Structure formats: C-alpha cells, structure tokens
Amino acid sequence: MFEVRNQPPPLEPYSLFTSDTVLREAVRREGAGWAEGNLTELGARLGRPETVQLGFDANKFPPQLRTLDRYGHRIDEVDFHPAWHQLLEIALQAGLHSSPWENPKQGAHVARAAGTYMLGQIESGVYCPLAMTYGSVPTLRHAPRPWNDYAAGSKATIWRGGRCRPFSRDALSSQ
C-alpha cells in the first residue's frame, strides 16, 4: 500500500470549543461564561468523527425537490438526507433555535451564537431553519397583529424538531 507522508493527520476527534481560544475568551468576556460546560459538550459532539462525517454526507447529498407523487399529484416536498436531520437534532438538543427566548439571562444570545458558530463549521445548511426560528420572536414583536394575538393569550410555539412546543409569553416579553 502507498504511504502518504505529505498530509496532516485527521483533525477529529477534537472539540470545536476547547480548541478555539478566541471563541472561549469571547464567550467569557461577553457574559456567557455560565454556558462553557454546555458549549464544551456541544463542541466535543460536533468534533466527533461520526458528526464530521454527517456534515460531509449532508453536503454530498443535497435536498431533493419532489413536485409530484407517483400518480402525478402535486406534492411539492423536499427530501433531506438523514445526515441533515441528525445534525439538526444535535442543534435542537443544544437549544440553538430558541435558548435565549426560553431561558433569558445575561449572555444567552452570546452562548447561542457560539453554538451556531461551531455548528456552521461542520455543516451550514442546517442553520437556516434554526436562524428563521430564532429570528421569528423579534420579528413578531414588530408585527402588531401576530404579536398582540400572542400577547393576548393565543398559543404560540417555537418549532422543535418537526413539532411545535409551547413556550412562555413572559420569557418573550422580557427580552
């Protein structure tokens, strides 16, 4: 077998958080030092060889639009590779879609940003639904009717892994 000598060894397994001095210092400086444990855990999970491979697989097999079913009926569905769903689940478990709104405290947005920064190093496509969900709360605050309906007691939810999950109006109002 041919031996390759001019290439560095594989990077993984590694922690995307503990190996990034600038990120760790920024998290502490900006008031999210309380999240270092969770960010260390997320960084290690993202840096596992199998998680890195999920990123490669999600990019190798892009989403496929299916406009029609086998009978010719319009369905307009998008099929995603299982790797994409697995990466999204990791992000959801880490609260990257809503943690500052569900548990508001100093540095909450910084902690979330650090997590999404690490996620984007593995695969950036899954960030889109996370960003849209995260961004919906401040956007709705500027839309009088939906926000007032919510503030008046209608059931609002934050998307969670294909399901909707209720969350506290008080948490939203305090931000």
Q: Tokens 């596992």 label which residue?
A: 48
* Cis previous bond, 49, omega within 30: no
Strand intervals (E) in 43-142: 64-68, 74-79
> Does residue 167 have a pLDDT over 60?
no
Arithmetic mean of pLDDT, 45-54: 98
**Token couple for 54:** 């999920």
Q: Are strands 157-160 and 64-68 parallel, antiparallel or unpaired?
A: unpaired
Q: Which amino acid is at 104?
A: P
Whole-angstrom distance, CA of residue 109 vs CA of residue 16:
19
Token look-up 């889109």 returns 128
Residues 87, 45 contacting (CB under 8 angstroms):
no
The predicted-structure confidence for 93-135, as pLDDT tens digits, reads as follows 999 998 998 889 999 999 999 999 999 999 999 999 999 989 8
Q: What's the distance, Cα to Cα, between the start and end of the chain in Å? A: 60
pLDDT of residue 149: 65
* Per-residue confidence (pLDDT) for residue 52, from 0 to 100: 97
Rounded CA gap, 49 and 85, in Å? 17
**Average pLDDT of the residues in 18-32:** 98
- Between these two residues, 117 and 157, which has the higher pLDDT value? 117
Q: Quick check: 27 and 111 in contact, CB under 8 A? A: yes
**Amino acid sitting at position 4:** V
* N residues, the chain: 175
Structure tokens at 165: 């999950």
